[in-house]
Structure 1
Amino acid sequence: MESLDGIEEVFAVVDNNILEEIEVPEPRNPKVYFRDVDPFNDYSEDCFKKRFRFSKNVIHIILPKITGFLESETQRGLPITPLCQLLTALRFYATGSFQIVCGDIMHISQLTVCNIVKRVSRALAMLMPDFIKFPANLRNIKAAFENLGCIGRAPGLKNIVGAIDCTHIKITKPRGIIHTKQYRNRKGYFSLNVQVVGGPNLIIYDIVARWAGSTHDSRIFRNSRLNIRLSNNEIDGMLLADGGYTCTRYLLTPILNPRTAHEERYNKVQIKIRNSVERLFGVWKRRFPCLQIGLATKLSTTANIIIACAVLHNIAIGVNDTFEVRRC
């Protein structure tokens, strides 16, 4: 009996040593869901617009168009509502901050924010055919461009339907791609070279967001569907571009060495009208600073984010929902 008691004491000591060596995992943090935050009631109209770049009424216009893409098939795991997903993505577009910061503000994880931004951006990009297109009646557009180019009593250029230019959206170095150097632009950073055609009221008529930063503007246009439509007279009108493009019958560029007064006046009118697309870039990037600061997402998601911001920009212009940055 004494020997058995001694053996039991030895095993008890061994068991205690094993228990001391085993690290007991800490309990997982409880899930915190977005429903604890209610931006519509927590913020006033002005504060809401500063944080999400749109008024509350416009949110109710955007949401029904993408609800079908955001709804969960089941209620397993307490899925986040389409409204909360849209506001999370808009918060990311409006700040250009790290996803983990947006997640802390919205009380969700960084991985959830990543999935939401990817899903919402794809849903908004699918609306591109409905919101990014040339109007059916171009007569008013031509008249607006002609009035925009007036200098004194002299009329502006006629038959103009848009101004074209490219802008660089900064990205991180792409991964999983053999030719990554082609995304480094002439200024030395990685980017996507995005082609945009703008109207007189700063609306976007056409956008191409798939070319690497080192690609020349004229090459993007030559390989675009817009070039084919213009050459086939599917679009009745001409575009204005800078000196980096080739002058054609439907693409007007400045005269490099004007010799007469008429040529000088043409350059002034051409530049005055073409500046509308530069103003468009400024308004577009001020509303969505993520385009100005840069994007660290995958290339496919980055392209969807750019197009999604273009769709949202046109929706805002369509409902006259202006946004101004107030400097401190």
Structure 2
Amino acid sequence: MHAIALIGAGRIGHIHAANVVAHPGLRLKHIVDCDPAAATALATVHGAISSSLEAALADPDVAGVIVASATPSHVPLTLAAANAGKAVLCEKPFGGVTATARDATVRLNQLGAHVLIGFNRRFDPHFAGLHVRLRAGEIGPLEALHLTSHDPAPPPADYIAASGGLFLDMAIHDFDMARWLLGASPETVFAAGSCLVDPAIGAAGDIDTARIVLRSADGRLCSISNSRRSGYGYDQRIEAYGAAGMLRVGNVAANRVERWDASGEHAATLQNFFLDRYADAYRAEIGQFAAVLDGAVPAITPHDAVAALELAEAAARSARSGCVEQP
């Protein structure tokens, strides 16, 4: 059984802690947080210990480290864990600046580090099933993609101020999904953004609504729709088009019960937010990390994280310039 140190006792840290404890091949030993009270509270729930970063990384019993802290700390903490000889699961994004992430990736390669990047949507069973069937050629060669990612409601302004912006914080998932489904990194990016949902987001210097078009070297297109507010729930859809048809993943409702009456069809609301919609994906992600600790090659690497960051930065430049940009 592999001992795990978790860095970050916030919202994502709580999810990872519960999934580590539930995995038969893992044991949660240390929890580290800049707020010792938060670390202690989470450790008490799961039978772990609240520790300093130095103590957790120096523990020879620890095989893996999960970095679930704030975005600016992702790169330095991943490097520190790798330097200590630990395998790492790092939450997305891998830092906020491409050059820094690229330099870190070179160093991690030199160390021979085993690092899994937490783009959890690749592990969603619905999206993973679409990927398998796409690769099997069910609709012929992929020609175009459309990705929809709309949050149910905007986050508070203080979150926006520290998020790195919509393209880095929110669309980064879609950039990774586009690369995964296309099987290649897009060569051009065109993006447009506005603040239409919450004036406080604009006051914080960000946008809350965006449309993005990615184009691959062979001309295939991927369009992405992002919004901080849907008005009808957590909207997560994929449509993949080929000569022989379409593969589609629709939204997941809270349940599958429907009622039909004279006024029409009535169904359950969509799952509320990512903690519910991607619960299975987070569990599978921890399963992949356990496999990495057993010697498997990470399914999503820092190279993938750098490529997604390059697309996010190109999208931000395009939204400012109004021009097509190259990542």
Q: What is the TM-score of this pair, normalised by structure 2?
A: 0.29
- The structure number with the bigger radius of gyration is 1
The structure whose residues are more often helix, as a share, is: 1
The structure whose residues are more often strand, as a share, is: 2
Q: What is the TM-score of this pair, normalised by structure 1?
A: 0.29
